[in-house]
Structure 1
């Protein structure tokens, strides 16, 4: 029960504080000149404590930066990369405006103005919508935690209904890039090493994330069962440190090994023995930036421009597509060289074309000759047929999208694609690749139409609705519908 205590004098007059209990602890109000005011304040605080709405004024006096450190200390179970990203976001976007401000001094208008005009630390320009959205979400989470810990009565970043009115619009997601089977094979063939070829095919046919690929051990690959076990992943911090931990969803899963990969994986497994499946030059974990720079991007450039390279050697206008004119010219070259005129540009055909090009390089500088030789060496590893088409550069993560695209085109269900990619739920799979499932609806409509037609007319049977032969009490008799 609330009561008051006398606390000396203030300016010659006595002062009083109210005493009350919240969460089993005896607490005090600020000093009042009137015993009645002190008691009323103590009673209000005690009643708020019973309703779970009491806030310790001293707790809300803490600065936002100090509260952020305390809050992060309670999130030690989060992935190191997540905590690192939060620290960077707070330091660069939140702290300049709110770092030294006490929690109780933040207002809804402050948050709204900050969200609209948030500045990037280096350029001084308004930050991108994606960065502003992430920063606002971080501040909202920080203030939600302050409410949960009874440092604030309400989150000033939210409206009374709980909405965050200052949240910038979600940026449009970048369009996914997909490779066809033929284009994926081209990229793999253009890779400089057997390890590079195997990694590209594994990523493009199973959709594994880079962290999962780089953490694979030889023991995770079971060629007899045709499965790869995914149960750990590498995470790279901003300072370059690699941390080995759980997968993104903290779940173990298995993905199927496509039959076309068995031979390549067998060679790699025999060479590794034990330990990591994919390794860097130092024998440690293969780093994404190293593989991307030295293997993947050069392979994509060569494979993505292979048709243009072919048409240059043939003296044709670059259409980026192996069309009828290109096929005709390829067959002519093959006939002149005594090769089977198949129109397929294989190693033997490339050799003839490269040799002819070598005789026409007199006007090139030495550096240009060397660059052209390297370019054609990679192109000569590729096979091009009718309909082959050039493609624009893509990222390593686009191989994951490619795997999803090829699986869906092959008839895989949403659940199967979800399990292969390691999504937390089919909803995420559908939201990410909804457009790819449109073809399923077309095929479903065609299949149902064909089945209906086969059942209804193939046997010549017609469904006729007959009148009931005997009247049934309470049941309306249907009229007879004659067959047409």
Structure 2
């Protein structure tokens, strides 16, 4: 029960402090000149303790920076890349505004103003919406943890209902890029090594993340069951260090190994021990994303993505990215003149004729441009183009993961199957990420249900023209006409 005590300081002034118990410990209020005020404050504090709302005033005096350091000590189970990103955001965006401020002095208005105007540490200009949103989320989580630790009674970044109105608007996500089966084969054929070809196809047909595919060992591949076990992943820190740890969702999974890749993967694993990495760098260590992208993936994508335009230019047709009837006719003429079967398909043998035709059109090119052109045609000489082929814009390694989802969905895979293949935490994430790819399912579903229902109709013999034979479309037309 709350009570008061009289206190006299060194100057002889008399005052009162309130005494109360919270969590079994006797605590004190600040000094008051009035006994009534001291007792009222003690009773308020005691009542707050009964409702788990009491906050030790001393604990809220720590600065935001000091509390961030304490909070991070409790998050050692987080992924190293996550911890590194949080430290970078706090150091560059949160600390300049709130680092030296005591927790209890952070106000809702200050957070709202900061979230809208926080500046980039490098340019001094307002940070991007994505950066501001991530930094605001970090501060909200930091203050939530202070509430849980009873250092704050409420989170000043939230409204009384718990909302965070200061959170910057979510930036629009980058549109996904998907390759068709033909375009994927073209990229794979344009690569310069068996390892690059196998890695590109494995990623685009299984949806593995880069950290996962680069961490695969020989033992992770089961060619008999045609399964790939995904148990770990590499994470790259900002200083270039590679750390081997759990997957992004900390879950293990198996993905199907397409039969068309069994032989290539077996060749890639040949001569290696079970614990050896399946894909390696030039010195035998882990394959780094930056070097692979720069030296192997990007050149192949660049060549394959403009293959049709390159072919059209070589045979003297206007620039376009479609292998249409005009290209077919031009390729057939080129094949006939070169003594090759005029199929209209640009295969490796035909690319040799294309290269000869292209050399006759290089008079206005510089020496460097001629060398680049030769390299481009050399890469394309391993590909095959046919009617209907289309060029595509450049894409990233992660777009191969999107391609895997697209090819799986177009092949009839269920949401659950795609979720398991990609390693998403829930089907909801799969649907929200690739919702546009499932739009045609409504038409397919309607046709399937209609066909199944119609199949149950019993039509008497000789009554083919009766009511039972009227199709739904015919009935709809008759109804519309009437």
Q: Which of the five TM-score ranges fits, normalised by the shorter chain?
A: over 0.9
- 1:176 Cα deviation after fit: 0.8
How far has the Cα of 1:456 moved from its partner? 3.0
1: CA distance between counterparts of 2:333 and 2:211? 48
Change beyond 3 A, Cα 1:126–1:364: closer
Q: Which range is displaced more, 381-390 or 92-101?
A: 92-101
CA distance 1:273–1:334, shift in 2 (3 Å):
farther
Residue in structure 1 matched with residue 384 of structure 2 by the alignment: 383
2:38 corresponds in structure 1 to: 38
Match of 2:448 in 1: 447
Partner of residue 266, structure 1: 266
Paired residue for 1:211? 211
SS of 2:183 mapped into structure 1: helix
Return the alpha-carbon distance in structure 2 between the equivalents of residues 361 and 395 of structure 1: 31
Give the conservation status (yes or no) of the 8 Å contact 1:206–1:400: yes
Aligned partner of residue 167 in structure 1, secondary structure: coil
Aligned-pair distance for 1:11? 4.2
Q: Is 1:298 matched up with 2:299?
A: yes
Distance 1:27 1:123, change over 3 A: same
What is the aligned partner in structure 2 of residue 191 from structure 1?
A: 191
What is the CA distance between 1:26 and its match in structure 2? 2.1
Deviations 1:123-178 (A, max 9, x none): 22222211111111111111111111111111111111111111111111111110
Contact 1:198–1:261 (CA under 8 A) maintained in structure 2: yes
Partner of 1:252: 252
Contact 2:338 2:353 in 1 (8 A): yes
- CA distance in 2 between counterparts of 1:174 and 1:353 reads 36
Which residue in 2 is equivalent to 1:416?
Answer: 417
Q: Paired residue for 1:334?
A: 335
| Residue ranges of structure 2 left out of the alignment (5+ in a row) | 469-482
What TM-score do the two structures reach when normalised by structure 1? 0.92
Task: Say which is worse superposed, 436-445 or 246-255, in terms of deviation.
Answer: 436-445
CA contact (8 A) 1:456 1:462 kept: no
Q: Deviations over 1:100-124 (max 9, x none)?
A: 1111111111111111112112222
Give 1:287 shift: 0.6
With over 3 angstroms needed to count, the CA separation of the structure-2 counterparts of 1:40 and 1:364, relative to structure 1, is: closer
Q: 2:20 aligns to what?
A: 20
Is 1:91 the equivalent of 2:118?
A: no
Tell me the distance in 1 between the aligned counterparts of 2:334 and 2:271. Answer: 40
Per the alignment, do residues 271 and 305 of structure 1 end up closer, same or farther by CA in structure 2, a change over 3 Å counting? farther
* Equivalent-residue separation in structure 2 for 1:423 and 1:185 (angstroms): 26
Match of 1:133 in 2: 133
The residue number in structure 1 matching 2:114 is 114
Q: Which residue of 2 aligns with 1:433?
A: 434
Deviations 1:425-457 (A, max 9, x none): 111111111111111211111222223333336
**Hey, what's the Cα distance between the residues in 2 that align with 1:241 and 1:285?**
11
Q: Could you say which residue in structure 2 is the equivalent of 1:61? A: 61
| Mean Cα deviation higher: 30-39 or 319-328 | 30-39
> What displacement does 1:367 show?
2.8
Q: Distance in 2 between matches of 1:355 and 1:34?
A: 102
CA contact (8 A) 2:22 2:46 kept: yes
More deviation, 64-73/272-281: 272-281
Question: Contact (CA 8 Å) 1:13, 1:33: kept in 2 or not?
Answer: no
Q: How many residues align?
A: 463
Out of 263-272 and 385-394, give the one that drifted further: 263-272
1:337-377 deviation per Cα after TM superposition (whole angstroms, max 9, x unaligned): 22111111111111122133335545544333322221111
Q: In the aligned structure 2, how far is the partner of 1:457 from the partner of 1:323? A: 48
CA distance in 2, matches of 1:13, 1:322: 96
1:474 corresponding residue in structure 2: none
SS at match of 2:30: strand
Quote the offset at 1:37 in angstroms: 3.0
Distance 1:458 1:433 in 2: 43
Report how far residue 251 of structure 1 moved. Answer: 0.8
Structure 1 residues 220 and 392, CA gap change in structure 2 (3 angstroms):
same
Q: Secondary structure at the match of 1:375?
A: helix
Q: Deviations over 1:252-286 (max 9, x none)?
A: 10000111111211110114344001111121110
Matching of residues 353-364 of structure 1 within 5 Å: 353-358=354-359, 361=362, 364=365
Deviates more, 1:271-280 or 1:129-138: 271-280
Matched, 1:317 2:298: no
Deviations 1:168-196 (CA, angstroms, capped at 9, x unpaired): 11111111110000000111111111110
Determine the C-alpha separation between the residues in 2 that align with 1:155 and 1:364: 65
> Over aligned residue pairs, what C-alpha RMSD do you find?
1.7
> What is the DSSP-based 3-state SS (H/G/I as helix, E as strand, rest coil) of the residue aligned with 2:54?
coil
Q: What secondary structure is seen at the aligned counterpart in 2 of 1:272? A: coil
TM-score, normalised with respect to structure 2: 0.93
**Is 1:393 equivalent to 2:397 in the alignment?**
no
**DSSP-derived class of the 1:455 partner:** coil
CA distance in 1, matches of 2:186, 2:273: 28
Q: In the TM superposition, what is the alpha-carbon distance from 1:4 to its structure 2 partner?
A: 3.0
In 2, Cα distance between equivalents of 1:111 and 1:216: 44
Q: Cα distance, 1:43 vs. partner?
A: 2.4
Greater mean deviation of Cα atoms: 410-419 or 260-269? 260-269
